[in-house]
């Protein structure tokens, strides 16, 4: 149940501010209220659900300001992971990242798009040597997860994302940590502040 609710929240099938009522969830999942309460407590601890003034629970949402704050944190942490990882990346790692970027540009299924996007970044960060940093990156990514259903092939956002991924890759191939970090920062900012005509 908790995994299903998490996926629905992160994919925006349960949009921000949706009220989550225990009795309705218990009926939907055909369980008693106790496992429902336990599931909601986990989602509350993960920051995906917030407590309302009436003591009810609702799906959390990020304001524009919160999105920018989250992007700033991601830039700090992910840039450092990339900087640490670059000298240790093998040619096969860069080839794998390139293949993932190519597949990502052509993919149409939202779930596969997300999987490829996560794998692309993880491939570039994996050699950083800091497991705690990688876990933090995953947590921050989940908090600011955008709906991949809103990014169809041919959209301006998808085209911009492909260009941004290639810029990160090109700098990484050159071993230019400063350029790679700058390209990554531009990419993460664009995810929360798209240009006119783009859909995040």
**Which numeric CATH code is attached to 64-192?**
1.20.120.530
Task: For the chain, give the DSSP string.
Answer: -HHHHHHHHHTTSS-TT-EE-HHHHHHHHT--HHHHHHHHHHHHHTTSEEE-TTS-EEE----HHHHHHHHHHHHHHHHHHHHHHGGG--HHHHHHHHHHHHHHHH---HHHHHHHHHHHHHHHHGGGS-HHHHHHHHHHHHHT---GGG--TT-HHHHHHHHHHHHHHHHHHHT-HHHHHHHHHHHHHHHHSPPTT---
Q: What is the pLDDT of residue 195?
A: 47
Residue ranges covered by each domain of the chain: 2-59, 64-192
- Residue of higher predicted confidence among 16 and 11: 16
Q: What is the pLDDT of residue 27?
A: 94
Q: What is the pLDDT of residues 115-163, one digit of tens each?
A: 899 999 999 999 999 999 999 999 888 777 655 655 666 778 788 889 9
What is the topology classification, in CATH, of domain 2-59? Arc Repressor Mutant, subunit A (1.10.10)
pTM: 0.73
Q: What is the pLDDT of residues 24-81, one digit of tens each?
A: 999 999 999 999 999 999 998 887 888 888 889 999 877 778 888 989 999 999 999 9
């Amino acid at each position: 149940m908790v995994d299903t609710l998490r996926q629905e929240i992160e994919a925006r099938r349960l949009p921000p501010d949706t009220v989550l009522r225990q009795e309705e969830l218990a009926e939907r999942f055909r369980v008693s209220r106790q496992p429902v309460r336990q599931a909601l407590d986990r989602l509350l601890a993960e920051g995906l659900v917030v407590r309302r003034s009436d003591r009810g629970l609702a799906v959390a949402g990020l304001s524009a300001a919160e999105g920018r704050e989250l992007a700033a944190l991601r830039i700090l942490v992910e840039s450092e992971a990339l900087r640490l990882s670059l000298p240790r990346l093998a040619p096969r790692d860069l080839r794998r990242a390139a293949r993932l970027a190519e597949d990502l540009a052509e993919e149409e299924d939202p779930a596969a798009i997300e999987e490829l996007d996560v794998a692309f970044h993880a491939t570039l960060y994996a050699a950083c040597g800091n497991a705690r940093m990688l876990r933090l990156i995953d947590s921050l990514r989940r908090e600011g997860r955008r709906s991949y259903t809103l990014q169809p092939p041919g959209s301006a956002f998808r085209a911009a994302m492909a260009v941004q991924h290639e810029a990160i890759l090109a700098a990484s191939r050159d071993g230019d940590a400063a350029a790679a970090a700058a390209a990554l920062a531009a990419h993460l900012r664009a995810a929360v502040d798209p240009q006119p005509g783009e859909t995040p």
